[in-house]
Amino acid sequence: MSFADPTTLPDDLIKDGSDASFMADVVEASKIQPVLVDFWATWCGPCRTLTPMLEKAVRAAGGAVKLVKIDVDKNPAYAGQLRVQSIPTVYAFVDGQPADGFQGAVPESQLRAFIDKLTGGVSADSDIEQLMSMGEESLALNDLGGAAQAFAQVMTLEPGHEGAIAGMARVYLADGDADQARQTIAMAPADSKNAQVQSVRAQLSLASAAPGGASAELEARVAADPSDHQARYDLSLAQAAAGDLQGAVDSLLAIVAADREWNDQTARKQLLTVFEAAGPASEIARDGRRRLSSILFA
């Protein structure tokens, strides 16, 4: 599959239209390729949601369809002729005539399907998005084979796709193969800002820091002496290495609550790595940050 290069897309792929230019921009242009007409207004909240998604979808289609945006307050004539009763309203013109349309701010998936139907093809990134969704769903169901297949397909279609690289590394981590996960994530740029790449690297960092003692032994030491912060810290490392990130957060927060300056704030610093491993948007990270704030600012 070839992908659209944004630098080679036509300058008039997306433009602001008017009643005066409607015949040229929409009717005549649609005789060459489909044209979407986005009827909107500055005061329309849903328009502010839909229009950026429309622009993204049109660019992703790689020039297969154009977009003309019409401010109905400034240009009421054609909106009236087409009986636009609410906004946002989108009409698709083909061969000089309105061929399809919809009202309201619809999801991105529906936009892509609308454009695919209109152009008789598939938008440039549609396959990759679907495969990534399949991979994530399979991984969530612990279907490691299915997840690996989906992420591998994405890497074939788009070598260097950081989400797919991270996804494949997560498959290896879930399978207990940290060495292969480390080799895979090394395919992503060292300075990657991708949240999933950073999460995998944080998980690998946690795994490599695991102490030699068994969790049961460390738990016994903590139970015998709750003020033994080193034992509790080592327990948090063992918990994180075993994938129990919630347990690691609980252990580290217990240290911070008892002595926030312990060992040059080592527990607090380690919490940030655990949050990154869990994912910034995860419930573990969000809840942990809330609890940390309540301790620090109590």
Catalytic entry in 14, 26, 29, 44:
44
Take residue 166 and report the two structure tokens written for it: 């991270």
- 70, 79 Cβ separation under 8 angstroms: yes
The answer to whether 47 is a known catalytic residue is yes
Long-range contacts (CB closer than 8 Å, 24 or more residues apart) made by 169-173:
169/200, 170/139, 170/196, 170/200, 171/139, 171/144, 171/147, 173/200, 173/203, 173/204, 173/207
The one-letter amino acid code at 236 reads S
SS (H, E, C) 66-116: EEEEEECCCCCHHHHHCCCCCCCEEEEEECCEEEEEEECCCCHHHHHHHHH
Catalytic entry in 47, 132, 150, 254:
47
Task: Tell me the catalytic residues.
Answer: 44, 47
